[in-house]
Amino acid sequence: MARVDLYDTTLRDGSQGEGISFSVQDKLAIVRRLDDLGIDFIEGGYPLSNPKDAEFFASLASLSLRHARVAAFGMTRRKGIDAASDPGLKALLDAGTALVTLVGKTWDLHVLEVISTTLAENLAMIADSVAYCRTRGREVFYDAEHFFDGHHANPEYALATLQAAAGSGATTVILCDTNGGSLPTAIALGVKAAIEACPGVTIGIHCHNDCELAVANSLAGVEAGARQVQGTINGIGERCGNADLISLAAVIGLKSGHEVLLPTSLARLTEVSRFVYETANMNFRPGQPFVGSSAFAHKGGMHTHAVSKLARSYEHIDPGTVGNERRILVSELSGQSTIITKTARLSLAHDKELMRKILERVQDLEHAGYEFEAAEASFEILVRKVAGTHRSLFDLVSYRVNVEHGPEKSGISEATVKLCSDGSVIHTVAEGDGPVNALDAALRKALVSVYPRLAEMTLVDYKVRVVNGREGTAARVRVVLESKDKTSLWSTVGVSENIIEASWLALVDSIDYKVIKDGESPD
């Protein structure tokens, strides 16, 4: 099958998404990751739009890219001005990239009503701009903005704009579903018409997700003959976002049979997806296809039983092909097969009665408000407790938290913890930014002399959810803590009518798990 090139516009179109802002260093780091992944083209931004993009292009010389080519993005010349005198085109060329992407008007509505010029002048704006960039030694890609709306309203003129670009030297013409309102059938028809109108020119596809069809529309374009696909990592972008290049790479490479990226790159999709989320300071989407944490998660007993016997019975691909992993979730929906799968590394599966007891305990606790599917460390400790193999690090004597607030106080929390460990009473006090932070500090202060690797552990996330909201302020709350050290990330859960108590329960499990994981305690 033919190769399909991927053109990434995370740094330009993606950065137009609400709440997304990349620093120059962020953009350079993303370029490195995309290059390593095997993305063919990376759109760096619009050099005239802001000083940050100008600095980014000036910094590109510091990168040594192995595969990707970076493009500067800009618009066709303004109406009534010579291309050589246009400040936008000057900035585009000054960016110094060997490849430039020009965007121009395709829909006659925009030509006549938005930029208020004639149809003939718009064709000249396209042709002059492409030709001028070509005379300056640049390869030119042409983005046909609103192509599918324009093709629906006035097909002859829409195709004429493509021919103006192709006839002036554009090597690739990209058809844009800018409003994101087209359906796959219209995409396929438009791509076929463009291929017929512009022989010898590569046709690309650029879709937005306003109807949640960006990936489907992009695939319809590939099926119709497009050989370049544009999008962003994780589908970020303006309004509802762009086509997700993560999903597109996986589908094109694994389902359609086309050549895409580099030979071993698909196994890095999960890594790159999460890197961009972290860089953009966004939360991961658990249900994101291929790379989400829930993409290969199995919860129902029938599913987990089947997957443990034959993975492909409930998985369309091996999770490892995209760098993800299978997860077996534990909940009140679980059957014994789930418990057996989850406890495999503890070598307990031979004890059917123990499996039954674990399942009953899980069901009882989830009825009380616990959830173990997002707290696998707490589940492991539960299993050890039911099996009788868990040794507590301490016996709690008492704890107390004091929060001071007032005109001269800044809300400092102080926690006092009294424990009994190996026959000795340990009494510690610590301050924190909040009650949970103070408890964490006091508890670890009490234990770190015995278990020194607790010093490596930090809390990275804290979530609270009301379990039975009808009880108002007396409702039970579920607290999920996420902790990490140098090598691992784990989650624990606690439930109580008292939010401090729920936090304490999750915190103790987290510290227990860290000690068990590191082998510092017999169990």
- Model pLDDT, residue 346: 55
For the domain that residue 177 is a member of, what is the CATH number? Answer: 3.20.20.70
Mean pLDDT score across all residues of the chain: 87
Q: Is residue 503 part of a domain?
A: no
* Tens-digit pLDDT profile for residues 369-382: 887 766 788 888 88
* Tens-digit pLDDT profile for residues 69-93: 999 999 999 999 999 999 999 999 9
Stretch 240-262: mean pLDDT, rounded? 94
| Angstrom distance (rounded) from CA 246 to CA 76 | 30
Helix, strand, or coil here: 115? coil
* Max mean pLDDT range (128-137, 325-334, 499-508): 128-137
For the domain that residue 413 is a member of, what is the CATH number? Answer: 3.30.160.740
- Model pLDDT, residue 480: 86
* Confidence label for 324 from pLDDT (cuts 50, 70 and 90): confident
Least confident span in 22-31, 97-106, 205-214, 234-243: 22-31
- Model pLDDT, residue 404: 80
Q: Is residue 280 part of a domain?
A: no
Q: If DSSP states are collapsed to H, E and C, what string results for 128-150? A: HHHHHHHHCCCEEEEEEECHHHH
* Tens-digit pLDDT profile for residues 442-451: 998 988 888 8
Q: What is the pTM of this model?
A: 0.69
Does residue 412 have a pLDDT over 70? Answer: yes
Q: Is residue 250 part of a domain?
A: yes
Q: Is residue 278 part of a domain?
A: no
Q: Which residue range(s) make up the domain with 45?
A: 5-262
Give the residue, 291 or 257, on which the prediction is more confident.
291
Q: Which of 262, 287, 316 is the last residue of a domain?
A: 262
Tokens of 435: 């009650």
* Tens-digit pLDDT profile for residues 329-369: 655 444 455 555 555 555 565 667 887 787 788 778 877 88
Structural domain count, the chain: 2
Those residues whose C-beta lies under 8 Å from the C-beta of residue 233, and which sit 6 or more positions away, are 8, 10, 14, 30, 34, 244, 245, 246, 272, 273, 276
Does residue 304 have a pLDDT over 70? Answer: no
- The 8-class DSSP code of residue 152 comes to H
Give the residue, 160 or 447, on which the prediction is more confident.
160
Burial, 506: exposed, middle or buried (Cβ in 10 Å; 0-12, 13-18, 19+)? buried
| Angstrom distance (rounded) from CA 426 to CA 90 | 71
Residues in the chain: 523
Q: Is residue 406 part of a domain?
A: yes
Q: Which of 202, 228, 262 is the last residue of a domain?
A: 262
* Confidence label for 473 from pLDDT (cuts 50, 70 and 90): low
Give the residue, 111 or 320, on which the prediction is more confident.
111
Does residue 220 have a pLDDT over 50? Answer: yes
* Other beta carbons within 10 Å of 28: 17
Stretch 394-411: mean pLDDT, rounded? 80
Q: Is residue 102 part of a domain?
A: yes
Does residue 384 have a pLDDT over 60? Answer: yes
Does residue 260 have a pLDDT over 70? Answer: yes
- Model pLDDT, residue 351: 67
Calculate what percentage of the chain has a pLDDT beyond 90: 52
Stretch 274-300: mean pLDDT, rounded? 84
Calculate what percentage of the chain has a pLDDT beyond 70: 89
Does residue 522 have a pLDDT over 50? Answer: no
Burial 381-406 (b: 16+ CB within 10 A, else e): bbbbebbeebeebbeeeebebeeeee
Does residue 429 have a pLDDT over 50? Answer: yes
- Model pLDDT, residue 1: 74
Q: Which of 262, 285, 310 is the last residue of a domain?
A: 262
- Model pLDDT, residue 333: 45
Does residue 133 have a pLDDT over 70? Answer: yes
- Model pLDDT, residue 523: 40
Closest CA to 467 of 493, 436, 431, 433: 493
Stretch 206-225: mean pLDDT, rounded? 97
Question: Is the same domain home to 83 and 225?
Answer: yes
* Confidence label for 491 from pLDDT (cuts 50, 70 and 90): confident
* Tens-digit pLDDT profile for residues 228-242: 999 999 999 999 999
Least confident span in 54-58, 146-150, 202-206: 54-58
| Angstrom distance (rounded) from CA 14 to CA 236 | 5
